[in-house]
Amino acid sequence: MVLVLMSTDEPSALPIHAPEQVPCSAAGMNSLCKTSADGLVTASTGSNGMLSGGGRHFLQIPGPSNVPDRILRAIDRPTIDHRGPEFQALGGRVLGGMKRIFRCAGPVVIYPASGTGAWEAALVNTLSPGDRVLMYETGHFSALWKILAERLGLAPEFIPGDWRHGVDAAKIEGRLRDDATHEIRAVCVVHNDTATGITSDIPAVRHAIDAAGHPALLMVDTISSLASIDYRHDAWGVDVTVAGSQKGLMLPPGLSFNALGPKALEAQKSARMPRSYWSWDEMAGPNAKGFFPYTPATNLLYGLAEAIAMLEEEGLEHVFARHARHAEATRRAVAAWGLELLPVNPSEYSNVLTAILMPEGVSADRFREVTLEAFNMSLGSGLGKVADRVFRIGHLGHFNDLTLAGTLAGVEMGLARAKVPHSAGGLQAAVDYLRDETGETVTLARAANE
């Protein structure tokens, strides 16, 4: 059964030579529509004849996360003169506020870019062509950072991992001890790998570098952990922290960040990688006065100011505890379903997302497709080595108990609809935990080890 929703009067915007799927935003829908050759936009109904687009779409991927109404309203303001005093106040507010989010005393650089841009900025401002960089494989995103380093003309060395464990600090220490001539100039690790749901122990990596007596810089990707999981740039001895706007900061994609320590600032003085757009030096002078050296993403900065305010109103420790509570509830649901988590070590379970292995021979992508079609909920796909073997539930950012309950209800219904072998009761296990656990006594990730 097909329901005709509307006719378009802009054929140039929608190709008429062949049907294609497009978002139903013009019709107030969040499902996928089909555009026919004559320009009619239609939405398919499910097998029960019901339209799947009623209500809001559940975006439960591990980023971009849901953008709160407060931030949407903040972004929805007229753009102002980015050389004027009103913008200067805004620039000073967000540059100072992000220092508190990173927990650093040094400068934070904000780019109109994705997290990939912040990866590149961290490398080109501190290194020279041919420099050796030690990286650790924890999942898809650590692998992508390595590829970027290779393309820049660096010489990354990858400590291989199995995508089920986090960074082994002892292996980093051993490799650095072997580097007697200090050819390795930086150690790059991902704090929370979004592809695998694994959170690595950054203080342990810092300790490993120090124990080896090695001068390498420590660079950490916090794109999916900042403002969701406890992170302390200064206290943990990180030299460059990389982050993005679309995860714990609850913004649309489009901003990325470098938080800088004194050792990184010193390294840029002798770094010879070509850089212009990403140059920290170019940012430093204007940033000191609340401005930027080129046209900034003004409306996203409005949203960033609101995001910082929301995080600080709740309190970062409460934000971290909330994420830990929702992650634990999700893991209890997975256990009740009889499914397996991708990460093996409980101390490395992510509080941002949960990565779940499908039973052998069962397609994760088919399950996700069925869930989207039947219940209008998007779940994260498996990436790289775990493509079609894993699905991911995002529980980060602007998120509460009822959002999680709805998410887990959708997963449980999707498992049944897709005929995935599992036990019932996952939703109930999570609800029982949420009902009985106030969140005040939730132990933050790895707190016992600190």
The Cα–Cα gap between 99 and 85 comes to 22
319 pLDDT more than 70: yes
pLDDT value of residue 93: 98
| Burial 157-192, CB ≥16 within 10 A → b, else e | ebbebebbbbbbbeebbebbeeeeeeebbbbbbbbb
Q: How confident is the model at residue 53 (pLDDT cuts 50, 70, 90)?
A: low
At 74-94, the pLDDT tens digits run: 999 999 999 999 999 999 999
At 180-207, the pLDDT tens digits run: 999 999 999 999 999 999 999 999 999 9
- 214 φ/ψ sector (left φ>0, alpha ψ -120 to 50, else beta): beta
Domains of the chain: 2-44 (no CATH), 58-66+315-449 (3.90.1150.10), 69-312 (3.40.640.10)
At 362-393, the pLDDT tens digits run: 999 999 999 999 999 999 999 999 999 999 99
Q: How confident is the model at residue 34 (pLDDT cuts 50, 70, 90)?
A: very low
259 pLDDT more than 80: yes
C-beta neighbour count of 328 within 10 angstroms: 20
Which residue has better confidence, 103 or 7?
103
Q: How confident is the model at residue 54 (pLDDT cuts 50, 70, 90)?
A: confident
42 pLDDT more than 60: no
**What is the token pair recorded at 79?**
């753009």
Q: Span 10-18, mean pLDDT?
A: 34
At 393-433, the pLDDT tens digits run: 999 999 999 999 999 999 999 999 999 999 999 999 999 99
221 pLDDT more than 80: yes
pLDDT value of residue 168: 98
Which residue has better confidence, 230 or 38?
230
At 135-169, the pLDDT tens digits run: 999 999 999 999 999 999 999 999 999 999 999 99
At 243-252, the pLDDT tens digits run: 999 999 999 9
Which residue has better confidence, 427 or 446?
427
pLDDT value of residue 437: 74
pLDDT value of residue 438: 61
| Burial 405-438, CB ≥16 within 10 A → b, else e | bbbbbbbbbbbebbebebeeebbebbbebbeeee
Amino acid identity of 271? A
Q: Identify the CA nearest to 100 among candidates 227, 209, 208, 195.
A: 227
**What is the token pair recorded at 137?**
């494989």
Q: At what angle do helices 364-375 and 401-417 cross, to 10 degrees?
A: 110
* Average pLDDT over the chain, rounded to an integer: 89
**What is the token pair recorded at 430?**
């999570």
1 pLDDT more than 80: no
Which residue has better confidence, 49 or 403?
403
Q: Span 21-45, mean pLDDT?
A: 42
